[in-house]
Structures are given as structure tokens and as C-alpha cells.
A and B are shown apart, each in its own frame.
Chain A
């Protein structure tokens, strides 16, 4: 990727900001200003930048594909790869709308639909309805809708938007979470509720927004919430009964983190008794954050779950000297007992809100002469990590977005090497911090194709300055936060869609976009990559070259996750939920005024132009060949 060495003159393209909301756990107390430079180069948005690339088809095993989509990320390895190949580069130009379905809701739609037994299931943002559509009938009519009726008060707790990232199917039931901290099991045929269990407390600032994964008969759920007050956890719930099987906290004494004799982290910095207490000021771990609001992967052979933990609280890092274990890192846990097997911290003593919750794609890659079982993780801190998933050793950590806050990752010690003069302190101006709080990449999940061996990464291209202090308040209590200005990083565009070679550790092509690319990615056996943009374009590009082959303008900005499935008629379908919102799109779905400086959390400023491009409204679009 070619990155100019200097920033554009941001002062000339200043736009006001808004209070924004960081997903799940960003530093909301930080007022954020954003510069949105006019998308300097229209041409940049059309043609992918290409680098050299030696095609290396994947030699590992993939889960068999039955043409359904029963888990959030398609398979346990989280590849989001559909082997269906009816739709390909030769015919994708003829891709046509097959049917649509309106959710009737205006908030951000981030979920992937599920397809099981010729029924499609859609989870909506708050109030978290579950729609079942009958795929055997023309137009996919509604079979039933299940309404869990979460308490309206939970909307006031969710920071950014009242999103939901989807559901899982297992054993005749659909499992998903409600914003007000309940996990529900719904009979997939009848829409009847089988059980519901409350796992958290909105009064403590907790919500549930993530898509659970079912592994070994357990529904695995993690909490979302502010950086402080909330203490992060991952919980396993028995899929049959709804009873809690185990809960592992992200902070606190070993026994509550489920760290015991099995725990053998690779690096010395992760070893020691009760680091979840000792790497914090006394008591600070009790409110230290580290939620698990992202993705869960599962390796059935190793019987290990993999998931990332969110950043530590409070936002002001001065108040929490220490590494702040076990935040901003990745855990491997025994799926039966929850016991930790290893941990690796991407961002020790996080300074910039770099949650570690992004997806972990489980692959077996040719590394160091042999084949290694690895997980591939594009982190908010700007590196794509390739980590030995048997022991937590970092095999490589390569830059996929502009980074000024760190110099690299020391592979001997595993340590992220921060840049001293980019450390933030309240009241001290620090400029040109990249990546920004939402990260080089936020929750939006990547896809991996075994045919090309490439990872397809939707992400952000933003930097920020931390400036003067500003006064604000929460619930009657005044506080002072840093004023942050965000702006587009080098290139002048806000987002990128990148094809990444995880073995070579470099980008193969990049497609710039005016706005951060906030949708998930899908790659298919037809060598097509599908993703959506915040201004509502749903695109198919060539998996090898990044050349755009097809596009469709949906009614609203896209922050959902595309899927592909085989219909009862034997045809391949592509489905996506459109409906702008989430953190990036809150300026539209939340009716934010892009000029309003109070709308602080920052993305909205960079998104100032977005309302000119899209309006809210949730709609399912399903495409097929004629």
C-alpha cells in the first residue's frame, strides 16, 4: 500500500464534530472533532491499487459447506467463505434483486442473516425482533416474528447505536442476545421462546450486542459496555436449558478469570499470579472494562474458543498504571470448562482505545517451513497478527493501515512498542495519532478465501489529534474530557477495503472509499468478494484483482454482513441487510447534526457528509441470477 508520508493540510478542510459513540467500549468522554477532507481523489475510489502477489491457494481444511449459513461467520474458523460458485466473474453482471424485506426500523443493521432449513432468520437492532422468512415461497414471505421486548431503558445504556450483530443456529433453535442483557433461545420452526436468561445488568452499564456462537452445546456470550464500571466477561450457557455453565472475567483474580494449571501463555509478560489484579491499581480491576463484544471462533480439534477482549477503563490511562490484564488481547479457552489456555495482549496499558475484539480467523498456514495452526487477527492497533493458536506465539504482525502510535511488535517479547511522544495526557496537545480510537479496523469482520489464500479486510483510514479540554456531564455529574479531532488519514479517504496475503504479510490490493468501510465481507467459490459502503452501495469485486464487477444501490448505508446460500430451487443467493447506523453511521440513523459539537464521540464529524448520501431504514436485499 502506498502511503504518503505527510498528512493532508487538515486545517483547510476542517469540519465540526459530534459526540459520537464508540462501539461497545470506546472513550466516550473524549469529545471528538473530525476533519473530513473532501474526498480528494475521486479516481482513487474507482481503481484498486495493486501490489505484487504470488497466488497461494489454501492447503488447510475447510468445514464442509452445505449451502446454509448457520453461524455468524459461516463456520467455526470464521472464514465467511461460501463455496457456492454459480455466481462468478462471468455472470455477476446479471445479478438481480430476488426479493426484499423491510424490518421497519431505522437503527443500524449490523447482523448477518442466517439460513437454515430453507428459512432465513434476521435479528434486528433494538427492539431485537427475530424475523423468520420462508424461502420456499416466492418473495420469501414472513413465517413468524419473535419479539423479546427488551426494556426501553437499555437504549440509553448502549453507547453508540442499539445494534445487534446476529444469531447462531443449533439443535433446532436460534440463539441471540437482546440489548438488555438477555440471551434467548427460540424454536426455529415455531418462533416460540424456549428459554431466556439474564446475563448482565443495564444498571451497571452492560449491554449485549454481539452474536453468540454455539460450541459443544454451549452458547458463548460476551458483554458490551463502557470502559469503566463494566467488568468484561465471557459466559457459556447450556443450549438446552439456558443455565450458566461457566463465566470467565477479563479482570480480577485468576480464579475468576478461569486461569489455572492449564494456562500456559507464550510470553513472560503474560505469566504470573493474579495479573488481572496486580497489573492494575488496587481495586481498579473491578471497573476495568475488557468486555467481549466482538467475535468468537472455535477450533473443534483443539477444543479451544478464541475471542478478543475490549480496552481497559478508564479512558485516561494515567489513572491505571500497569498492563491492565487481561484487556485488549486474545484468550484461548477450553470450550468445556472455560479455563484459559493462553492469552496474548495486543495493546498492554492501552492508551488509544484499541479494543482487541476483532475477528480471529483460524487457518493452517505455511509458516517457517511447515504448516502452523494459526489465528489471523487484524487489530484496531493497525497490525494484522498471525498467532500460533496452539500456544499464543506471534508469528508475524504486519502493518495494514497508517500507524504513528507504535513502532512495531517485538516478536521476541510479544510487546507492542509504543511511540513515546504520542502518549496522550489530558490537557496536552498530541497530534497525528493513527490509528484513531475506532481503530485501523473496528468490528467489521473480514473474509478468507481458500481459493486465493487472501483475507479481505474492510477497514478505516483515519488519524486524530488530541487537543484542549472540554466540559461535559453524565447523569448530573460534570467531567472534563479531551477534545479529539479526527480526520482522514493519508490519501484523503476515510476507508479502505484491502485484500491481504496473511503469509507474505502484505496488502495485495486496496480499494479506497470515501467513508470507513463499515460492513462485513463475504467471499465466494465464484471468486467474488461482496461488501457494502456507508453510502449504500453493495459491491462485488474480483477476489484476485479487486476490480469492481457489479454494484447495486441499496436504500440506506450498509453496515451489515453479506452472506451466500443455496435456495430450495438450487440457486445461489446473496443476502445483505442495509440500514445505516452503528457508530460510523449514527449521524444518519441517530439524526445527529454533523455540525453539532456535542455529538462528541467523533466518528460523526468524519461522517459529516454522510447524510447527503444516505438515509436510515432497515431492509433485507437478496440477489440471484435471473
Chain B
């Protein structure tokens, strides 16, 4: 990539910087997971693929993909090795990358059977004791709701569903099939996976939004670039602002449960 040339010849610096700028403007190289619906997949069926198209269009850039599973180490191995330049959906303020303004805010949600008598209102609902609660298992950890349940002594209610990639929606199917009584799932996955079951499943945002003393259960999602790519980040910020309505439509079509963005979020703060 151009950075290599930069190192070779400082005399060409200005010219190359210009080239770099043009290169960025003409090619948007997205780091994307090949098998992780509803976020992304190799056949471009994910909402992140659609959002990338909108942003590339706004920037008059050619959209290309580096397909790589977004597991641990991928920022180091993929983004920072310049195999691609852009992450479409990361939490605002994520360390290790520069994040743009957020373009949506969602929440972990309760997924229940609509015909079930038990519809938890919050994590403090006493009905959560002595039932089976499906919880996503990431590579080494439960996401924040798992930690919130553990804090409440509900470890014995938790059923972990390992799911990254094509099996990620199993946790939602488990609710529909009665294998668990309720599942707590990151909103975008829940909304998307629940569609398959028509109106049989209900989704509602987890309460509280922040579990004391400070564990967030809602997140504002932004794009991420390398820490050195402030120019690209600024271009993306402008494009995101222009395309926000399109993005809203895309997210709605994937049934992503959306929360209003906070004032801090509008200002680009976590």
C-alpha cells in the first residue's frame, strides 16, 4: 500500500499523500466478516454491506471487501496490517480504532414467546429466577447481560449459546422452540432472527439501560478506522450525516431495534 512508499521516499511525500487521498476517495476497502448475518456476509446480504454501499456511493468510491472473521485479533491482523481500511459497525469509543459519529443505537433485548405468560420488564424481574435464560457466549465471555445476571446470582438460570456466524441465530430459535424461556440477545441479531418466526416472538429492550455501577447494556454503533486515519474518519462522518436517512431505512428493513441516540452520541462521545 501507499504507506510503504511513504517510508521509502520522503521526497515524494506530498505527491504520495495526494495519491493516498485520491486512493481513499476512489476505493473504500471494508473489513468484513464473510459469514455473520445480519451484519455481513460474503454475498453482501448483511445490513453492514448495504450501509457500506450507501457510504461508498456518497464518497464516489469503489467498494471492495477484505473477508475476515471478526474474532479476536482481527484489528491487529487485518485492519492494522492495512488489508482493509474500514470497520462498518463498532461501538463508539472502542479502543484501538478511531470511531466516527454513531449512526445507530441499539440495546440488548429480551426475546420471549409472545404467548408466554412471562414477559420480563427488567433484569430485576423476580420471574427471571428458576427459568432458563438464553445468553450469547462470545469467544471467551458472556456479553454484558450475562455479567448483569451473574451479579444478581442468576448463574444457574443462564444457558450459553455459542454462536458467531451461521449458528448465531440458534439462541433466538431456542426461544421459539421452548428450549429456553427467554433469551437476552444483542438487538440487531434478535430483530433479524425473530423475523423467521413471524409474530410468535416478542422483543423488548433490556432494562435498566446501564446496570449499576456502570455496565452498559445499550451501545451506540459507529464506523471504525485506524487511529492514524483521521482524514478518512472525517470523510466518513460527513458521509454518514448525508446518508443517515438511508441508513435508518436499511436498519429498519432488517428489523434492528433502534433507540434514540443520546446527545453525547450526537457529539461523537460514547
Contacts and interface: CB of A to CB of B under 8 A. Distances in A.
B141 A19 contact: no
A200 to B, nearest CB: 13
B137 A228 contact: yes
Contacts of B69: 153, 156-157, 475
Among B76, B136, B188, B270, residue most surrounded by chain A Cβ atoms (within 10 Å): B76
Contacts of B219: 471, 478
A495 interface: no
Interface centre among B70, B143, B160, B270 (most CB of A within 10 A): B160
Interface in A455-490: 469-481
Interface stretch (B19-27, B56-64, B161-169): B161-169
B96 A477 contact: no
Given A283-B159, A475-B36, A156 B68 contact: yes
B198 interface: no
A161 to B, nearest CB: 8
- For B72, B74, B150, B214, the residue with the greatest tally of chain A CB atoms inside 10 Å of its CB is B72
Contacts of A585: none
Interface stretch (B10-18, B86-94, B235-243, B260-268): B86-94
B95 A319 contact: no
Interface stretch (A76-84, A171-179, A247-255, A587-595): A587-595
B186 interface: yes
B229 interface: no
Contact of A474 (B72, B167, B214, B270): B72
Chain A interface residue number, banded: 35 or more
Contact of B95 (A153, A229, A600): A600
A384 B97 CA distance: 41
A600 B96 CA distance: 8
Contact of A479 (B48, B89, B141, B165): B141
A28 interface: yes
B181 interface: no
B114 interface: no
B147 A480 contact: yes
A29 B155 contact: no
Interface stretch (A183-191, A310-318, A394-402, A539-547): A310-318
A159 B73 contact: yes
Contacts of B248: none
Contacts of B95: 19, 31, 470-472, 597-598, 600
Q: Is the interface of A mostly helix, strand, loop or mixed?
A: loop
B74 A284 contact: no
A321 interface: yes
Contacts of A599: 75-76, 80, 96
Contact of B76 (A18, A314, A426, A480): A18
A287 B141 CA distance: 10
Given A287-B137, A314-B137, A319-B150, A475 B155 contact: no
Given A287-B137, A478-B219, A19 B73 contact: yes
A28 B189 contact: no
A425 to B, nearest CB: 9
A116 to B, nearest CB: 34
Interface string B44-58: 000010000000000
Interface string A24-38: 011111010000000
A121 to B, nearest CB: 28
Interface in A568-617: 586, 590-593, 596-601
Given A227-B140, A474-B71, A474-B72, A598 B94 contact: yes
A282 interface: yes
B65 interface: no
Contacts of B33: 475-476
Contacts of A481: 141
Contacts of B150: 316, 318-319
Nearest to B74: A156
B249 interface: no
B81 A591 contact: yes
Contact of B155 (A27, A157, A320, A480): A320
A590 B158 CA distance: 36
Contacts of A470: 95
B270 A29 contact: no
A467 to B, nearest CB: 13
A598 B97 contact: yes
A318 B158 contact: no
B41 to A, nearest CB: 11
Contacts of A601: 72
Nearest to B214: A427
A474 to B, nearest CB: 5
Interface in A309-365: 313-316, 318-321
A29 B146 CA distance: 14
Contacts of A281: 155-156, 158
A158 B155 CA distance: 28
Nearest to B71: A156
B36 A476 contact: yes
B144 interface: yes
Q: Which of A29, A226, A475 has the most chain B CB atoms closer than 10 A to its own CB?
A: A475
Contacts of A21: 72-73
Given A157-B69, A318-B155, A320-B155, A475 B140 contact: no
B267 to A, nearest CB: 17
Contacts of A315: 140-141
A204 interface: yes
A590 B151 contact: no
B231 interface: no
Contact of B140 (A28, A158, A204, A591): A28
A478 B87 CA distance: 14
Contact of B216 (A155, A157, A313, A471): A471
Contact of B215 (A156, A157, A426, A475): A426
Contacts of B165: 203, 475
A597 B36 CA distance: 26
25 contacts: A19-B76, A19-B95, A29-B138, A31-B95, A156-B71, A156-B73, A156-B77, A282-B156, A315-B140, A318-B155, A319-B150, A471-B92, A471-B94, A471-B270, A474-B71, A474-B138, A475-B36, A475-B165, A476-B39, A476-B189, A478-B143, A479-B138, A586-B76, A593-B80, A599-B80
Interface of A: 18-19, 21, 25-29, 31, 153, 155-160, 203-205, 226-229, 281-284, 286-287, 313-316, 318-321, 426-427, 469-481, 586, 590-593, 596-601
Given A319-B158, A426-B215, A476-B36, 17 more contacts: A19-B76, A156-B70, A159-B72, A229-B140, A287-B137, A287-B160, A314-B142, A316-B142, A318-B150, A471-B91, A476-B89, A476-B186, A478-B221, A480-B216, A598-B96, A599-B75, A599-B76
